[in-house]
Chain A
Amino acid sequence: MHGVGKSFYGVSVLSNVDIDVHPGEVHAVVGENGAGKSTLMKIASGVYQPDSGTLRIAGESVVLHNPRDAQAAGVGIIHQEFNLLPERTVAENVFLGREPTRRGLVDRRAMRARTAELLTAVGAETVRPTDRVGALGVAQQQVVEIVKALSLDARVLIMDEPTAALADHEVELLYALVRRLQARGIGILYVSHRLAEVFDLSSRITVLKDGRRVVTVDTADATPEALVRHMVGRELASYYPPKADAPGTALVTLAGAGNGRLRPIDLELRAGEVLGVGGLQGSGRSALARALFGVEGFTAGRMTLDGRPVRPRSPRQAVRAGIAYVTEDRKGEGLALSQSVLDNALLASRAATPRWFGGGARTTSVRDLLAAVEVHAAGADQEVRYLSGGNQQKVVLARWLAMKPRVLLFDEPTRGIDVGAKAAIHELIRDLADQGAAVLMISSELPELLGMSDRIVVMRDGALAGELPGDASEEAVLSLATGTPHEVPA
């Protein structure tokens, strides 16, 4: 790709970007959210058309009018959000839009056979072509995405944040898959926020910032510090804010609390403390947060808040009790995407204390909160969908801050958020704890979990597998999470 530029509604999001990928090479593209990575990838895969610049594949100039053209030209893409139909089978998803036919009808046998071949080729025999995609785990769905791209005989494969939804042990499997693809001579453009991955996998790295290419370096010559400097244009001295000095008093206690998915749990959330919750995906971490928030509440045991027994049976009751929940599914559960920044920030306060008049004062205070958490938006009336992930998360945060919660539950608070905004979110979380709130933070990212938490509990199979101090090692968390005994206890 040469000199590629693109603007939306007069706002330039990409200008004069050059990037190339060789057969069998993994070329990583990094940059903050809003740096233009996704736009660049969408141009390469025919979703958007560039305003300027050219695309060449194997030396031939191509124009991609739509995703179909890109497929024909051998460009496959695995989008950040899965592009699969949960109600359809693996084979139907893989061949969607290109179903093989025999005598005018879809040749389902051929479709299944070919899918099985491809699944074997990527070493994922456990997935069956006749499985319904919705019944598969996230990692398996990712495999389906990859197989779908491969079924096109893709020469170039674009992977946009492929690990965003994966747990750590699944990431390993993805690595193996990427190397396998590499060995088959497929050029891979690998977009990621996670620098560790980029260093593990790529041979070259391109940094984008504000829609421009900052630099392309050989991975061997690069350091994480230098990359971060290029990405944010400044050094991030320390990734995480300082931890709490002393643990506070217990604010929430659980005694034998459980429900259909949680085995009885004993736990304390203390004022002024960030309690990290580790574990694999599906280990019950989110179920715990959801139970505390009354989404699918506890059905057994006791929960007390400030010494008084409570058992929220709906989010509304939880909110009234002073509990706030920042969901991991920001776009699905966290925000009304087509509504304004202001409406989203006001959602909880309006719901909890409806009033006809005097809304003005509330609006003012929420505007102040939005400013305090430094939401960067064109205005409070802007639709939330146009904000970057980091800014969206800040809007969610502002909404809860308006409720002055005493207990905050964060589920993957920085998923899909760029490095700069991530640090800002971390600081906000720590500030809240410092002001006396009890914070529970679920994270799949071990550095985040270890860097933020004053205390860590690890979950496995719906139960607490153990508790660790905030300065535990990654190995200690992992061994608790996976249930493998480890020789050096932390």
Chain B
Amino acid sequence: MTTLTARRPRIDSTNGVWLALGMTLIVGGILVATDGGSLFGQNSTVSLLQRAAGLGIVAVGQTFAILAGSLDLSVAYVISLTSLIAAETMAGSDGRVLPAILAVVAVSGAIGLVNGLLITKLRINAFIATLGVGLLIKGYLEQGYAGPAGSVPVSFQHLGYDRVGPAPVAFLLFIGVAAVAWLVINRSRFGHHLIATGGDLDVARLSGVRTDWVLIRTHIICSLCAGIAGLYLASRLGAGAPRVGAEGGYDLESIAAVVLGGTVLAGGKGGVAGTVGGVLLLAVIDGIFNQLAVDPFFKQVVRGVVIVAAVAIYALRLRRKVVRKAAA
């Protein structure tokens, strides 16, 4: 009331990732150019954006879960499952595209609902609940499928292969999903309640937020995003694949992208803009190493280092902020 805290320009951790992305592009561009290639050529850019799309859509969903203080480890298996559902329902027929999409929405939504109910009503830790649901789906997939199944009509493959200028349709879909997510998180009541729930469950509840319902909706959204990614992969592969999600590492990579984007793993702070940056950063690193034809194992090492370093920087910055506050 009496003293006014000095106002500092707000250093938002979601800005950091864009800075890192810019620097990576410059350094990477130079490296690739000296190697005789081009990072910004049509082909490499397209494949880079293509790669970003699938992970991006999943990561947007994961952003919701993490912001709410939760987590979803089942997304990888949801992707595999929905790619199969899509491809098998379509069975190569144009007329069955819509029913297939509806089926994917229904199944992935239902899985999200189950995740949400396990976490809120049975009070199972999100890590365990979603891991359990994921393993359940995995069991079903391994028992029922030995390899790719179903087939996608050519009309539906436009999603996976067409592009508008240099931008693949799928990438535009990712940006669209991210934009809607941004609006929901930053401008809707649900978004406000989501961040409050992740920030402090008790505070949110005592303020009259129905936190259980918020978490349930969050998990439905997260699963739906995985379902959309499943549709995209089905379109890309021309068929459903029982291992595409797990082999793509979509569960942990989506979490990594969100965290790279500056969203706090404990929830309550961050946003989808950072996640988009995180996804692009991971894709660019991939692109650079592909161009340089670096050993894939070394590539993994670098990715690991980048993720750990990013989180360490955020943690340090937060710590400094806390110290400053205590001193004030």
Which of A99-107, A222-230, A315-323 is near enough to bind chain B?
A99-107
Q: Is B43 an interface residue (CB 8 A)?
A: no
Q: Are B1 and A97 in contact (CB under 8 A)?
A: no
CB-CB under 8 A from A136, the residues of chain B are 5
| In the complex, chain A residues whose CB is within 8 Å of the CB of B326 | 261, 286-287
B121 within 8 A of A: no
* Chain A residues whose CB sits within 8 angstroms of the CB of B164 once the complex forms: none
Chain B residue nearest in CB terms to A82? B203
Q: Which residues of B contact A286 (CB under 8 A)?
A: 326
Q: A85-B268, A106-B187, A260-B327 are in contact. Are A97 and B209 (CB under 8 A)?
A: yes
> Within 8 Å of chain A (Cβ to Cβ): is B303?
no
Query: CB-defined interface of A100-132 with B at 8 Å, one 1/0 digit per residue?
Result: 010011101000000000000000101100011
- Is B189's CB under 8 angstroms from A101's CB? yes
Q: Is A170 an interface residue (CB 8 A)?
A: yes
Chain B stretch 50-89: residues in CB contact (< 8 A) with chain A: none
A289 CB → nearest B CB, Å: 12
Q: Is the CB of A87 within 8 A of B188?
A: no
Question: Do A137 and B3 form a contact, CB below 8 Å, given A85-B200, A87-B268?
Answer: yes
> In the complex, A336 Cα to B258 Cα: how many Å?
30
Q: Is the CB of B5 within 8 A of A106?
A: no
Q: Is the CB of A88 within 8 A of B205?
A: no
Interface pair B1/A126, CB less than 8 Å apart:
yes
Q: How far is the CA of A99 from the CA of B205 in the complex (A)?
A: 15
Q: How large is the interface on A (under 10, 10 to 19, 20 to 34, 35 or more residues)?
A: 35 or more
Q: What residues on B are CB-neighbors of A92 within 8 Å?
A: 192
Chain B residues contacting A47 (CB-CB under 8 Å) are 206
Is residue A41 contacting chain B, with contact meaning CB distance below 8 A?
no
Whether, in the assembled complex, B204 has its beta carbon less than 8 Å from a beta carbon of chain A, the answer is yes
Known A-B contacts A88-B199, A97-B193; A126 and B183 likewise in contact (beta carbons under 8 Å):
no
Instruction: Known A96-B192, A104-B188, A137-B3; judge A296-B323 contact (CB<8 A).
Output: yes
Tell whether, in the assembled complex, residue B209 and residue A287 are in contact, meaning their CB atoms are under 8 Å apart.
Answer: no
* CB interface residues, B 155-204, toward A, < 8 Å: 183, 187-189, 191-193, 195-196, 199-200, 202-204
Cβ–Cβ < 8 Å partners of A169 in chain B: 2
A interface, by DSSP: helix, strand, loop or mixed? loop
Chain A residues lying within 8 Å of B1, measured Cβ to Cβ, are: 124, 126-127, 137, 139-140, 143, 170, 173
> Do B2 and A170 touch across chains, with their CB atoms under 8 A apart?
yes
Q: Is B34 an interface residue (CB 8 A)?
A: no
> Which residue from chain A places its CB closest to the CB of B323 in the assembled complex?
A296
B9 interface residue (CB < 8 Å to A): no
Q: Mark B281-303, 1 if CB is under 8 A from A, else 0.
A: 00000000000000000000000
Of chain A, the residue at the smallest CB distance from B328 is A282
Docked-complex contact B208 and A97, CB < 8 angstroms = yes
Cα-based distance from A321 to B210 in the complex (angstroms): 50
Residue of A nearest to B321 (CB): A134
> A98 an interface residue at 8 Å Cβ cutoff?
yes
Per the bound structure, the CA–CA distance linking A99 and B193 in Å amounts to 9
> B269 on the interface (CB 8 Å rule)?
yes
21 A-B pairs in the complex with CB atoms less than 8 angstroms apart = A47-B206, A67-B207, A83-B207, A85-B203, A85-B268, A86-B199, A97-B207, A97-B209, A99-B192, A101-B189, A126-B2, A127-B1, A132-B10, A136-B5, A137-B5, A143-B1, A170-B2, A173-B2, A261-B327, A286-B326, A287-B326
